[in-house]
Structures are given as C-alpha cells and as structure tokens.
C-alpha cells in the first residue's frame, strides 16, 4: 500500500499532472474574465505548460503570476482580438434575433391580412346571397 501513494508511482504522477492542469485552467479562466487580459493569461498559461512539458519543477500559480506580470503588455493585442471576437459573436447573435423577430412579425401580419380577406369574402357572399344577386353555383 505504501507504493501506491509513492510520488513516483505512475498513477500518482498522472493524478498530480491532472490536478496541475485543472489548477492552471482555473487560474487562466479567472485571469481572462476581463477579456482585455486574456492575451496575458494565455501567454502565462503557455509559459507554465512549457515548463510542465519539460519536466521542470513548477509552482503553477507562482509561475503563472510571474509570467502574467512580465508579458501583460505584450498580450494586450491578443486580448483585444479576443474582445473583438466576443463582440462580433454577440452582434451576430443580436442580428439573428432581430431578423427572426422581424420574420415572425411579418408572418403574423400576413396571417392577419389573409384572415381579413377571408372574412371580407364571406361577408360579400352573404350580402349578395341575401339580395338574390349570387348564383348558387358561385363559390369562392
């Protein structure tokens, strides 16, 4: 049982790496919440992942914060791109919603016109029939 909890055990190394990746993703998400900082957060995440891949001794949060501070200014253009992409997606969604609402409104207006025309035709038939001006074979 002692070998199971040994840090050199392949299962424990896998679980340790998995926890490191989860922590890194959560920290990246938190630092990316103001979209303008997303570039620096992605750069810092890449820095930590590189060190994880190399097998260096890594302190996830400490290394992330250090890299974020060093590369924040360089990551601003990337953050602006992420912000622009988010705005574009929101605008497309808004335009789609407005288009769908306009189509539904137009369809309802056409339905009302069709109902009005049908009602008008029935009233005309009734009036003509009551005055004896309508042939019995005439049907619209």
Mean pLDDT computed over 28-55: 87
Q: How many CA atoms lie within 13 A of 128 on its CB side?
A: 14
pLDDT over threshold 90, residue 64: yes
Read off the pLDDT of each residue in 25-48 and give the average, rounded to a whole number: 88
Domain limits, the chain: 10-130
Query: Which three-class secondary structure state does DSSP give residue 133?
Result: coil
Mean pLDDT value of segment 99-126: 81
Question: Mean pLDDT in the chain?
Answer: 83
**CA 129, 133, 138 angle in degrees (round to 5)?**
70
Residue 82 pLDDT greater than 70, yes or no: yes
pTM for this predicted structure: 0.55
């Amino acid at each position: 049982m002692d070998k199971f909890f040994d840090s050199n055990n392949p299962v424990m190394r896998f679980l340790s790496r998995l926890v490191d990746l989860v922590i890194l993703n959560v920290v990246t998400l938190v630092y990316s919440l103001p979209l303008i900082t997303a570039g620096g957060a992605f750069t810092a995440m890449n820095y930590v992942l590189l060190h994880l891949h190399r097998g260096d001794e890594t302190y996830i949060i400490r290394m992330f914060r250090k890299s974020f501070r060093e590369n924040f200014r360089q990551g601003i253009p990337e953050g602006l791109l992420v912000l622009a992409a988010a705005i574009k997606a929101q605008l497309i969604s808004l335009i789609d919603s407005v288009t769908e609402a306009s189509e539904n409104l137009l369809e309802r207006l056409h339905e009302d016109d069709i109902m009005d025309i049908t009602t008008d035709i029935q009233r005309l038939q009734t009036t003509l029939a009551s005055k004896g001006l309508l042939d019995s074979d005439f049907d619209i």
